[in-house]
Amino acid sequence: MTELLRLSVLDQSPVAEGSTGAQALRNTIDLAQLTDRLGYHRYWVAEHHGGPTLAGPSPEVLIGPIASATERIRVGSGGVMLPHYSPLKVAQSFSVLAGLYPGRIDLGIGRAAGTDPMTTFALQRDRRQAAPDDFPQQLAELLAYFDDSFPDGHALGRYVATLPGRPERPVPWLLGSSAQSAIWAGDIGLPYAFADFINGEGAEIAPLYRERFTPSDRLDTPETAVAVWALCADTEEEARRLAASSKMTFTLLRQGRLIAVPPPDKALRFLESQGPSAPGPRRRSIVGTPETVRAGLVDVAAQYGAEEVIVVTITYDHEARRRSYELIAEAFDLPAAAAATGAGARA
C-alpha cells in the first residue's frame, strides 16, 4: 500500500485572525507552489460561502492562477458544489481550464451546499422558491457535455462542440461523505474521494463504492481517495499546540459561531475553559511528529482501501502549515521532497 500511496492536498484557504481573505488566497498560491516542488500529486481547492473562516468560494477562479504558478501538480476543485450552478456553465469553465492546462485539471463535484441555508438562498438566481434537489440529473448533464453522450437529437447536445477547451477535458471525480455518494460514483464509473475529515465513519462506506462500480469510458477500475485532516510538526507537543486553532474553530462552528482561525495560545485557553469533554461529535485528526502522522495516514488509507490520501491542514500561522506539508512529504520519501526542502523551498 505505502509504495503505491499518492499524497495530495486539499486547501480550504483558511483566514487567520487579524489577517484578510486576500492574504489567505495568496497563501494558497504559495502553498501550491511548495507542494508542487515537494512532489505532491494533486492540489484541490474547496468551495465555501458566507463565513469568515475560509476564503475560497470559487474553485473555478482559483484553479487557473494555481495551475499557472505551478509546473506539474494536478490542480482541481475539491469541489464544485453543483446544486448552485448550471451544468453547462461548469462544463464551460472547466473546459477553459483543461484547454489552458492540458492533462492537469480535475473537476471534483459535490452535492453539499458548502454553507448555511440563508447563504444557499442568497446564491440562487431565482429566489421565488427553493431550488430543486435534482443532483443526479445535474451530474448526468454535466458529464454528457464532456463525454458527448447526450441521446441523439437531445436539445443540449449542440453545446458539446462549443466547449472552448476541446479536445482537452478535465478528469471528473465525485466527492462525498455518505453512502449515497459512494453508490452514485460506483454506478456511473467515476473516481471517488471520501471526506473522512467530515465523516470519520467512511471506511464502512468505501467498500460500497467498489461493489457498485461499473466500468465506464472514463475509468476501467475503481479509484478511491480519502481526504484526511492532519497536522505535522517537529514535536508532538508543538503539533498539538498548533492543532488547537482548528479545534477551537470547529468547536464554535458546531455551535453556529463562525470565526477566523485563532492563534494557538488563544485557542488553548478557550479549549481549557470548555472542560475535558466538550459535547458534540469528534472529527478524526492525525496530529504529531512525522512518524506519527505517516503511520496514521497509511492506516486510514488501508481502512478505505484508498490509493491516495488528500491531506487537509488548517493552522493559524501559514509557515506552520508549510512546515507540516514539508515534514509529511519527507516522511513519505516523496522523490522531490529532499531536494526541494534542502534547496530552500521558498526560493
Task: Decide which of 75 and 4 is more confident.
Answer: 75
Beta bridge partners of 74: 42
234-253 b/e (C-beta count within 10 Å ≥ 16 → b): eeeebbbbbbbbbbbbbbee
Tell me if 98 is assigned to some domain.
Answer: yes
How do residues 205-222 score in pLDDT, each as one tens digit?
999 999 999 999 999 999
Q: Which domain holds residue 86?
A: 6-342
- Are 205 and 211 contacting, i.e. CB atoms less than 8 angstroms apart? no
Determine what percent of the chain is predicted with pLDDT higher than 70: 93
Give me the pLDDT at residue 156, please: 97
Binning pLDDT at 50, 70 and 90, where does residue 345 land? very low
Give me the pLDDT at residue 126, please: 80
CA-based nearest residue to 312, from 4, 6, 8, 1? 8
Tell me if 182 is assigned to some domain.
Answer: yes
* Residue 185 grid coordinates: 460514483
Binning pLDDT at 50, 70 and 90, where does residue 282 land? low
Tell me if 1 is assigned to some domain.
Answer: no
Q: CA 145 to CA 265: how far, in whole Å?
A: 50
315-332 b/e (C-beta count within 10 Å ≥ 16 → b): bbebebbbbbbbbbbbbb
CATH assignment at residue 231? 3.20.20.30
- Are 38 and 68 contacting, i.e. CB atoms less than 8 angstroms apart? no
Tell me if 127 is assigned to some domain.
Answer: yes
Tell me if 82 is assigned to some domain.
Answer: yes
| Side chain identity, residue 283 | R
How do residues 225-256 score in pLDDT, each as one tens digit?
999 999 999 999 999 999 999 999 999 998 88
Tell me if 50 is assigned to some domain.
Answer: yes
| Side chain identity, residue 118 | M
Give the total residue count for the chain: 347
SS (H, E, C) the chain: CCCCCEEEEEECCECECCCCHHHHHHHHHHHHHHHHHHCCCEEEECCCCCCCCECCCCHHHHHHHHHHHCCCCEEEEEEEEHHHCCHHHHHHHHHHHHHHCCCCEEEEEECCCCCCHHHHHHHCCCCCCCCCCCHHHHHHHHHHHHHCCCCCCCHHHHHHHHCCCCCCCCEEEEEECCHHHHHHHHHHCCCEEEECCCCCCHHHCHHHHHHHCCCCCCCCCCCEEEEEEEEECCCHHHHHHHHHHHHHHHHHHHCCCCCCECCHHHHHHHHHHCCCCCCCCCCCCEEECHHHHHHHHHHHHHHHCCCEEEEECCCCCHHHHHHHHHHHHHHCCCCCHHHHHHCCCCC
Give me the pLDDT at residue 346, please: 39
Tell me if 160 is assigned to some domain.
Answer: yes
How deeply is 67 buried, as exposed, middle or buried, from its count of CB atoms within 10 A (0-12, 13-18, 19+)?
buried
Residues with Cβ within 8 Å of 154's Cβ and at least 6 positions away in sequence, in order, are none
User: What interhelical angle do 135-147 and 179-188 show, nearest 10?
Assistant: 30
Tell me if 347 is assigned to some domain.
Answer: no
CA-based nearest residue to 97, from 70, 60, 72, 69? 60
Examine residue 14 and say whether the peptide bond preceding it is cis (omega within 30 degrees of 0): no
| pLDDT exceeds cutoff 60 at 338 | no
Q: Which of 61-75, 99-113, 280-294 has the lowest mean pLDDT?
A: 280-294
CA-based nearest residue to 262, from 36, 76, 18? 18
Model confidence, pTM: 0.92
| pLDDT exceeds cutoff 90 at 114 | no
**Structural domain count of the chain:** 1
Give me the pLDDT at residue 131, please: 80
